[in-house]
Copies of this chain bind each other. A is one copy, B any other.
Amino acid sequence: MKNDLLIKAAKGENINRYPVWIMRQAGRILPEYRAVRSSVKGFKELVKNPELCCDVTLQPVDILDVDAAIIFSDILVVPEAMGLDYEMIEQKGPWFEKTIRSEKDFELLSSKVDIEDRLGYVLEAISLTKKELNDRVPLIGFAGAPWTIFCYMIEGKGSKTFSESRKMLYTNRELAHKLLDRITNVTIDYLKAQIAHGADLVQVFDSWAGILSRQQYAEFCIPYLEKICSAISDTPVTIFSKGAILSLPDLAKLNCNTLGLDWNMEIEGVRKLVGESKTLQGNLDPCVLYSDRSAIESETKKLLNSFKSTRHIVNLGHGIYPDTDFEKVKIFINTIKSYEIK
């Protein structure tokens, strides 16, 4: 591989500069993405088209010169593969016709998901992208964390409180665990298939981690994340639990290579928890990219100066906001690339 900085950083090997990629780098910030997006009817047509997924996955590598590609897809392909179709409604977000609220709903889910059959389009996109990348940079695969996928399967849409999902943790703990375990098993098969098709690193996104107490996160999330981490060997795993500030001591014990940090998490404190056993990924506030050049440069340098270890992958602390000027993103990336590790 020509540029394997990301893999080296994830494994804690020696690096001479920090690798950088950006959550949601393939997306609305790029005019080239918007052109592809407007050539199809809906977001899902894009997700289900391997050639187009490959194209938009490569765009930020070509345009922004990031140190990794991340396959263009959606975490909700997993609940869909399990039997819950969804629509992506413009300006509103995902919407599921069926949801899981009872044992009976659960029984209707596929008990075993044939990944090649149900998610072959993602695997094909990965194979294609891997070929087109031609070993320039590593390719990242991903999935939603069991808890976050559970939230969508119960709620059927986005929510400020996810109170239906949290309700089940009190009213039917057994069903909650059964569903979380089912999602976990599918996710493991899915991530393994992504790796078999060419993913060099996989990231698990727990977008709704922040709505649970430490105790609930320890019961309903950590064991399933651990099961995923332990099932995947030889390929680095990143766990990004957004908002799980109280659970950082528990996340620090996971058998993963890298922890993703959101923009509010404090690097110094997390480093104390993990020591040199893990790489930390993140965590510039995406709002910094609304600033002018000198502010972006100084905030980025402040972040880099705060690193007391080489075990870092630079990223934002949240998916980049769609109205960000991609020229500002280049300033961020160039500041990192020209920063020498002392």
Contacts and interface: CB of A to CB of B under 8 A. Distances in A.
A287 B162 CA distance: 10
B163 A263 contact: no
Nearest to A213: B264
Interface residues of A, number: 32
B287 A163 contact: yes
Interface string A198-223: 00000000000011111000000000
A266 interface: yes
Interface of A: 158, 160-161, 163, 166-167, 169-171, 210-214, 243, 245-246, 263-264, 266, 285-288, 290-292, 295, 299, 318, 321, 323
A318 B263 CA distance: 24
Given A166-B285, A170-B295, A171-B292, 11 more contacts: A163-B287, A163-B323, A167-B287, A167-B290, A169-B287, A170-B287, A170-B288, A171-B291, A211-B264, A212-B264, A214-B266
Contacts of A212: 264
Q: Identify the interface centre among A264, A266, A291: most chain B CB within 10 Å of its CB.
A: A264
15 contacts: A158-B160, A161-B318, A163-B290, A166-B285, A167-B290, A169-B287, A170-B288, A170-B290, A171-B290, A171-B292, A210-B210, A212-B264, A213-B264, A214-B264, A246-B266
Most buried by B among A160, A161, A170, A263: A170
A94 B212 CA distance: 26
Contact of A286 (B163, B214, B246, B285): B163
Contacts of A264: 211-214, 246
A214 B266 CA distance: 9
Nearest to A263: B213
What 6 A-B pairs are tightest by C-beta distance, nearest first? A167-B290, A166-B287, A170-B291, A213-B264, A163-B321, A167-B287
A211 B242 CA distance: 11
